[in-house]
Amino acid sequence: MSRAHHSSGAEPSQRMLRVAELIRHCMADLLTRGEIVDPVLEKHVVTVPKVGMSPDLKLATVFVMPLGGKDVEKVIEALDKHKKFLRGEVARKINLKFAPEIRFKVDDTFENSAKIDALLRSEKVRKDLERGDDEDEAGT
């Protein structure tokens, strides 16, 4: 199977998933231990819910979210400022042929989940669901 199949939105390979998880653990460990000397990062607890890898393993997209969702932009800027240090630490702690470039993005999974929950609880959706239940009962 060629590596090109990943660009079309196909599932990531086992190797991509394994390397992504190793990097996620490494990043979480670095942020938890406070190994990055930065006033912004010292004030925030930053979670690393997931990491995405490019098919060639040369780019790692680290999704982060400060606890409470506050100062997201400042946290991303601080992490970007220490990107070189973090890449070096990843290379040192994970045995890879090449250390991947690292980019940081905001993890909006929780925000999207909250929006979906709010939509499902909305009055209009509730009425549609109740109407659907009535139709199901009438049809049986």
How far apart CA 25 and CA 48 sit, in angstroms, is 8
The verdict on 8 and 53 lying in the same domain is: yes
Q: Within this chain, do residues 91 and 23 fall inside the same structural domain, yes or no?
A: yes
- Domain of 47 in residue numbering reads as 3-107
pTM for the model stands at 0.72
Is residue 46 domain-shared with residue 113, that is, in the same domain?
Answer: no
The answer to whether the CB of 103 falls within 8 A of the CB of 90 is no
- 103 and 113 share one domain: no
**pLDDT tens-digit profile of 54-101?**
999 999 999 999 887 788 899 999 999 999 999 999 999 998 888 899
Of the chain, the percentage scoring pLDDT greater than 70 comes to 83
Residues 30 and 69 in one domain: yes
Number of structural domains, the chain?
A: 2
Q: Do residues 30 and 74 share a domain?
A: yes
State the average pLDDT over residues 33-58: 91
User: In this structure, what token pair is assigned to residue 36?
Assistant: 């990055």
